[in-house]
Amino acid sequence: MIKALIFDVDGTLAETEDAHRAAFNDTFPAFGLNWHWSRDLYRELLKTTGGKERMHAYAVHHLGIDPADIPVIDIHKRKTVRYGELIAEGTVPLRPGIASLINDADARGVRLAVATTTNVPNVDALIRATMGVPACDVFEVIAAGDMVKAKKPAPDVYALALHGLDLRGKDCLALEDSRNGLLSAKAAGISCVVCPSAYTDCDDFTGAVAVVQSFENLDTITKANMLFVPA
């Protein structure tokens, strides 16, 4: 039986990427930058995990400029504040099936954790806006990108979640929306179910134990994997 579910956040718990993109675009002018990330461009930029890393990649590969000339850390801090404001407006719901999956797992004693590239304030903003409680009231362990040396697709953040849970990879199931997330979970020895998001529907999900189009379709997957002991 699976002892814990480990969730990615952006694109998995909720379709947050447009809010992240809007927060970046709202923040750039404050630093004298005329950058604007379109939806198509952002889809490409998401191949680089981490907001600071994404800005670095954009500067190098799209603009051909030295990222050292860009105040990446300061931009990212202000962007995080703006993202929290956008999320607090309540316009980004949890993806269908997520709330019931969390509630059912909790009721049956399956432990809950997060392994994400984003930071803890962003996770907390989303959970407060969608569930009305702090993220730490829902998830026993929150492993975030700024806590590890290497972000997804490296296994570091999943390894950190396993350490916090004191469980082995084979005791857990990861829920992801992207190829980078899938590779990260697999590298940590964790089986992974993928539900593609609006920005990752063209990714290659070879190696996932299942690919579903909605988390509402997880009933058959969880039963097949003996996720829940019958009530």
Residue in 8, 124, 156, 203 annotated catalytic:
8
Q: Is 10 annotated in the active site?
A: yes
Pick from 126, 155, 156, 151: nearest CA to 138: 126
How many of the other CB atoms lie within 10 Å of CB of 90?
Answer: 9
SS (H, E, C) 120-173: HHHHHHHHHHHHCCCHHHCCCEEECHHHCCCCCCCCHHHHHHHHHHCCCHHHEE
- CA-based angle 109:172:149, to the nearest 5? 120
Q: Which residues are catalytic?
A: 8, 10
